[in-house]
A and B are shown apart, each in its own frame.
Chain A
Amino acid sequence: MNENEVLVNEEREAEDNLEIRRITKDNAVFFSTPGGFIGMELDGKRYERVQVFRTFPFTAPEVYISVREPDWKAREIGLIENLNDLEKQTRERIEIQLNRRYFTPKIQRILDVKMEYGYAYFDVVTDRGPCKFTIPMSGSVARLSETRLIITDIDQNRFEVADLERLTSQELRKLDLFI
């Protein structure tokens, strides 16, 4: 590729960015790589590995999935409008990657919350296994809706309380000071 082509390419990319570039089951095929990632073939162009990002991780985790190049620049290749429009197997492949990227265990049971010196120490059971974590007393619990919480711990790990109403009253009382 000579330098003129490089320039032409960069210009074209700049123009392309003005439109949503859709990835659908008609123009793209996703495949699992031997290394445990996913790759994609889009309109005949093969990407040995791609990254997938959610654009609305909290409110709509299944729509507008951004597919990006694997390097640190992570240039966007295109957007998947809705995961549910894809084949089941493809969807599952992508979901594995997404779940990894946005690892957010859902808290099922709250065993203990201890508060000391401005920090709270949690002992919980999540859908991904038992866990103990620590949060600062203020600013670490975000309320996404009336019944849904996201808790961020001191290591920037996230935990979700999907539905406050499903907790027992004892558990609720332990959370009382955060909501």
Chain B
Amino acid sequence: MDMKKELERWLSAGGIEGPVLCYGFADMDLHCKYCRSYLALTKDTLVFLYLGAEKERKTFSGAPMNYLEEAPELRRFPIDTLKNPQVLDMVIGGQFCVEIDGVDTDICSFTGAYMANMRHVCNILSKRIEGKELTEEDLKEPEGRGYCPKCGGPYPDQNRRICPRCMNKGSVFKRMFAYFLPYKWHLAGVMFCLLLTAVFALFWPYLSGTVLYDQVLGGRLQNAYTALVLTVFAMAGTKAMQQLFGIIQGILVAEIMPRAVNKMISNVFHAMSKLSIRFFSDRQTGALMTRVLDDANEVVGFYIDSMPYLFSNSLIFIGTTAIMFLMNWKMALLAIALTPPVFVIFAKMEPRLHHYYGRRHRTMRTLNSQINDNLTGARVVKAFGRENSELDRFGKASSRVRDAEMALVKYDNQYYAVYSIAQNLAVVLVWLLGSILVLGSNEISYGILITFAGYVSSLQGPMEFFSNAFRWWARAINAGQRILEIIDTNPDIMENEHPITLEQVKGDVELNNVTFSYQQGKTVLHEICFKAPAGKMLGIVGRSGAGKSTLVNLISRLYDPQSGSITLDGVNVKDLSFSCLRRNVAMVSQETYIFMGTVAQNIAYAKADATYEEIVQAAIFASAHDFITKMPDGYDTMIGAGGRSLSGGERQRISIARAVLQNPKILILDEATASVDTETEQRITKAIDQLVVGRTTLSIAHRLSTLKNADWLIVIDNGRIVEEGTHAQLIDQRGEYYKLYELQTKALSLRGIEG
């Protein structure tokens, strides 16, 4: 049902006309009890609709409640009496608050799932109050917590709008299968080997039972010894063939597995490298990559291991059953009748066993991290004399491991007891009935009984397989889905189809009404306008969290603004080719990243074909040459993960050298001297002073002294430009900048350093 229509119906019953622009669900009443209420916004009125306490939650929290069962109580607030709407962040969920006649008024409260929606309402309301026209874009409903349209359950993972219960498993299966098509002959080989193994497995009970006991040892043959030798050879041959085909199959699997995994991972990595930074900041990259590796192994394992086994196990199952019925339908019926209960027991108990394993694993992990914590923090533990309490803490964690282990073992024993009773019961009953048939009515021979018992136990392999198969399938499909998802993600920042490449960049940067938010509703930058003419230095000042770093990230298109434009030499950066943009914009930020490799490789990161001279020149420029040459291996010193560790200042200077070598027209300095000592700072500042000559520089700094050379300063607070001008002008204005400046000079003079 269209919720807006539904709300409009109730509103017009209450005498409020006009379309509902947007609405949000609020599930908490004044007494902090769950309730059902809505906040709806029409062109000129904000309306709160209250339906009473929650009697029964039919959907999971987060899923929209698209029904109003009874007439709601209405509270209306004409927009022209409202000011300054805001969603107050609570520890849990939020509160919608608006100023009515100068008094902050609590409108409604809601839990975490409805925050995004309410922020959307709040945004639109504030636009209406300011009297702005609303665009289509504005009215687009936010992507809040998604919920599956099929089953109504919430998507477990915000970033993955996939309902694991309802996803189209078939299409995932097909697409992942494409990875194995190049190896179809190998796969066919694997299949063939397994089928043969299965056939030989069917032979075995027949040979070892009926043939051996009835035919050979039954004494009815003339050449009993020859027959015996032949039979033994046949039996040995069967086993040997089984082994042989098993080995061939193993070789084939080993051939496909690494290649398919490799192909899959490189596809994922390729797709990842094209994704924009937002994708990575939304997820944990490291965890993502290990996940991908595990996922790829899972998928490949399923396709080349579980799937072929599915065929062979089905064949064994069907074959065994058929043969049993052919031999003796009564005993076959008994054996088959007992399979479903065994299967059910297995399928029921298995998952629980897995959970117990998981729990043990988790407690072990906690214990390990605690041990690790203690060993690394040994100095602190000793210094504070806390050895005993640490022992206690360890004791607790280790007793959790013990409990988990004991619970696991207990359940494991139960499980095996029940399982083997059920399993052996089938065998025992078959033996029982068989013995009666052998001794009592002579209906079957002893050999057939042996064969039968063999077949009954050979049913167990397939049964165990089938009871696990569904879980394997689900896991593989889920893993496959995750892989496809990365491969399918469209980068939200894409190069223009016909990009412009500027031959000669001057370096004029201009921002026009740039508005940006990471999450819808939480505006980080608000209509920012400024100009940085070519060759000039622009300083950006503001508290941490004011949006400074975000601002400079927009220039190199790590993110795109929601509205407004950023131009470089008059060309919108969205129309520029990536190569042109990235070649001309370099950033030295407080987060320096050193890649695994030599110092020289790290400096030459942006220009792989740099000559030795260029590298040394860049290092000298960045005041890095000195410390690099002092290291025993000089420019060939291995740094980064696993290599020599560098101090903050050293890393910083290497990243400056990197920027020097890139020789960009536009240089962005994001707190380049934030985390170093005064002496190093001076060195870096010296390096930067040389670097900025002839470039457009955008410099962010906490220490205003570093910005004293800036040609123009802008002060940002809460995502808006609050002041701008030259240093002298801003000091004269005696505003925010002046305040910061005075505070800093005072603080510095207190420490005996002149600002």
Bound complex: CA A49 to CA B159 (Å):
37
Which residues of A lie under 8 Å from residue B478 when comparing CB positions? 117
> Is B413 in contact with chain A by the CB < 8 A criterion?
no
Interface residues on A, range: 35 or more
Q: Shortest distance in angstroms between A139's beta carbon and chain B's nearest beta carbon?
A: 9
Bound complex: CA A52 to CA B358 (Å):
41
A130, B33: Cβ atoms closer than 8 Å: no
> Is B154 in contact with chain A by the CB < 8 A criterion?
yes
> Is A36 in contact with chain B by the CB < 8 A criterion?
yes
- Pick from B33, B112, B355: contact of A128, CB under 8 Å: B33
> Is B454 in contact with chain A by the CB < 8 A criterion?
no
Decide: A157 near B359, CB < 8 A? Known: A48-B104, A103-B28, A134-B60.
no
Decide: A35 near B158, CB < 8 A? Known: A132-B59, A155-B61, A155-B62.
no
B57, A131: Cβ atoms closer than 8 Å: yes
> Is B753 in contact with chain A by the CB < 8 A criterion?
no
A35, B106: Cβ atoms closer than 8 Å: yes
Which residues of B lie under 8 Å from residue A154 when comparing CB positions? 62, 145, 154, 156-158
Which residues of B lie under 8 Å from residue A72 when comparing CB positions? 718
- Pick from B55, B61, B474, B734: contact of A157, CB under 8 Å: B61
Q: Shortest distance in angstroms between B262's beta carbon and chain A's nearest beta carbon?
A: 27
Q: Shortest distance in angstroms between A140's beta carbon and chain B's nearest beta carbon?
A: 11
Bound complex: CA A129 to CA B103 (Å):
31
Chain B interface: which of A2-10, A23-31, A78-86, A161-169? A2-10
Closest partner residue, chain B, to A120 (CB atom): B156
One digit per residue, 1 when the CB lies within 8 angstroms of any chain A CB and 0 when it does not, for chain B 9-48 equals 0000000000000000000101011110000000000000
One digit per residue, 1 when the CB lies within 8 angstroms of any chain A CB and 0 when it does not, for chain B 68-110 equals 0000000000000000000000111101010010011110010
A116, B739: Cβ atoms closer than 8 Å: no
B742, A57: Cβ atoms closer than 8 Å: no
One digit per residue, 1 when the CB lies within 8 angstroms of any chain B CB and 0 when it does not, for chain A 64-81 equals 000000101000000000
> Is A101 in contact with chain B by the CB < 8 A criterion?
yes
Decide: A131 near B55, CB < 8 A? Known: A155-B145, A157-B112, A158-B92.
no
> Is B337 in contact with chain A by the CB < 8 A criterion?
no
Bound complex: CA A102 to CA B32 (Å):
10
> Is B137 in contact with chain A by the CB < 8 A criterion?
no
B residues 140-186 with Cβ under 8 Å of A? 145, 153-154, 156-158, 164-165
One digit per residue, 1 when the CB lies within 8 angstroms of any chain B CB and 0 when it does not, for chain A 89-120 equals 00000001001111111000000000111110
Which residues of A lie under 8 Å from residue B49 when comparing CB positions? none
A177, B359: Cβ atoms closer than 8 Å: yes
- Pick from B28, B61, B156: contact of A136, CB under 8 Å: B156
- Pick from B55, B104, B746: contact of A130, CB under 8 Å: B55
A36, B57: Cβ atoms closer than 8 Å: no
Bound complex: CA A151 to CA B526 (Å):
37
Bound complex: CA A20 to CA B165 (Å):
54
- Pick from A131, A136, A156: contact of B34, CB under 8 Å: A131
> Is A170 in contact with chain B by the CB < 8 A criterion?
no
One digit per residue, 1 when the CB lies within 8 angstroms of any chain B CB and 0 when it does not, for chain A 51-71 equals 000000100000000000010
- Pick from B32, B92, B109: contact of A156, CB under 8 Å: B92
B34, A130: Cβ atoms closer than 8 Å: yes
Bound complex: CA A129 to CA B156 (Å):
23
B165, A116: Cβ atoms closer than 8 Å: yes
> Is A17 in contact with chain B by the CB < 8 A criterion?
no
> Is B616 in contact with chain A by the CB < 8 A criterion?
no
> Is B53 in contact with chain A by the CB < 8 A criterion?
yes
- Pick from B30, B61, B164: contact of A153, CB under 8 Å: B61
Q: Shortest distance in angstroms between A109's beta carbon and chain B's nearest beta carbon?
A: 13
Bound complex: CA A126 to CA B53 (Å):
13
The listed residue with most B CB atoms (<10 A of its CB), out of A33, A119, A134, is: A134
Q: Shortest distance in angstroms between B505's beta carbon and chain A's nearest beta carbon?
A: 39
> Is A44 in contact with chain B by the CB < 8 A criterion?
no
B109, A100: Cβ atoms closer than 8 Å: yes
Which residues of B lie under 8 Å from residue A134 when comparing CB positions? 60-62, 153-154, 156
Bound complex: CA A134 to CA B158 (Å):
12
- Pick from B32, B105, B358, B734: contact of A99, CB under 8 Å: B32
Q: Shortest distance in angstroms between B412's beta carbon and chain A's nearest beta carbon?
A: 15
Q: Shortest distance in angstroms between A59's beta carbon and chain B's nearest beta carbon?
A: 15
> Is B54 in contact with chain A by the CB < 8 A criterion?
yes
B residues 599-633 with Cβ under 8 Å of A? none
Bound complex: CA A33 to CA B99 (Å):
12
Which residues of B lie under 8 Å from residue A36 when comparing CB positions? 30, 105-106
Closest partner residue, chain B, to A72 (CB atom): B718
> Is B708 in contact with chain A by the CB < 8 A criterion?
no
Bound complex: CA A130 to CA B54 (Å):
7
Which residues of A lie under 8 Å from residue B156 when comparing CB positions? 117-119, 134, 136, 154
Q: Shortest distance in angstroms between B290's beta carbon and chain A's nearest beta carbon?
A: 15
Bound complex: CA A105 to CA B157 (Å):
23
The listed residue with most A CB atoms (<10 A of its CB), out of B55, B91, B153, is: B91
B92, A103: Cβ atoms closer than 8 Å: yes
Q: Shortest distance in angstroms between A67's beta carbon and chain B's nearest beta carbon?
A: 16
B residues 343-365 with Cβ under 8 Å of A? 355, 358-359, 362
Decide: A6 near B739, CB < 8 A? Known: A100-B32, A131-B61.
yes
- Pick from A35, A116, A136, A177: contact of B104, CB under 8 Å: A35
Q: Shortest distance in angstroms between B282's beta carbon and chain A's nearest beta carbon?
A: 15
Which residues of A lie under 8 Å from residue B734 when comparing CB positions? 3
A101, B59: Cβ atoms closer than 8 Å: no
Closest partner residue, chain A, to B718 (CB atom): A72
B91, A101: Cβ atoms closer than 8 Å: yes
Closest partner residue, chain B, to A130 (CB atom): B57
> Is B264 in contact with chain A by the CB < 8 A criterion?
no
> Is B738 in contact with chain A by the CB < 8 A criterion?
yes
Which residues of B lie under 8 Å from residue A177 when comparing CB positions? 355, 358-359
Which residues of B lie under 8 Å from residue A153 when comparing CB positions? 61, 112
Q: 10 tightest CB-CB pairs across the interface, nearest first?
A: A129-B34, A35-B105, A155-B112, A36-B106, A155-B113, A117-B164, A119-B156, A103-B92, A129-B54, A156-B112
Report 20 cross-chain contacts, Cβ distance below 8 Å, ordered by A residue. Answer: A10-B739, A57-B91, A70-B104, A99-B32, A100-B28, A100-B90, A100-B109, A101-B92, A117-B478, A129-B57, A131-B61, A134-B62, A134-B154, A153-B61, A153-B112, A154-B62, A155-B111, A156-B112, A177-B355, A177-B359
Other 13 A-B pairs with CB < 8 A, given A3-B739, A116-B164, A116-B165: A3-B742, A35-B106, A36-B30, A119-B156, A129-B33, A129-B55, A134-B61, A134-B153, A134-B154, A137-B358, A153-B61, A154-B158, A155-B112
B-binding residues in A (CB < 8 A): 3, 6-7, 10, 33-37, 48-49, 57, 70, 72, 96, 99-105, 115-119, 121, 126, 128-134, 136-138, 153-158, 177
A-binding residues in B (CB < 8 A): 28, 30, 32-35, 53-57, 59-62, 90-93, 95, 97, 100, 103-106, 109, 111-113, 145, 153-154, 156-158, 164-165, 355, 358-359, 362, 474, 478, 718, 734, 738-739, 742-743, 746
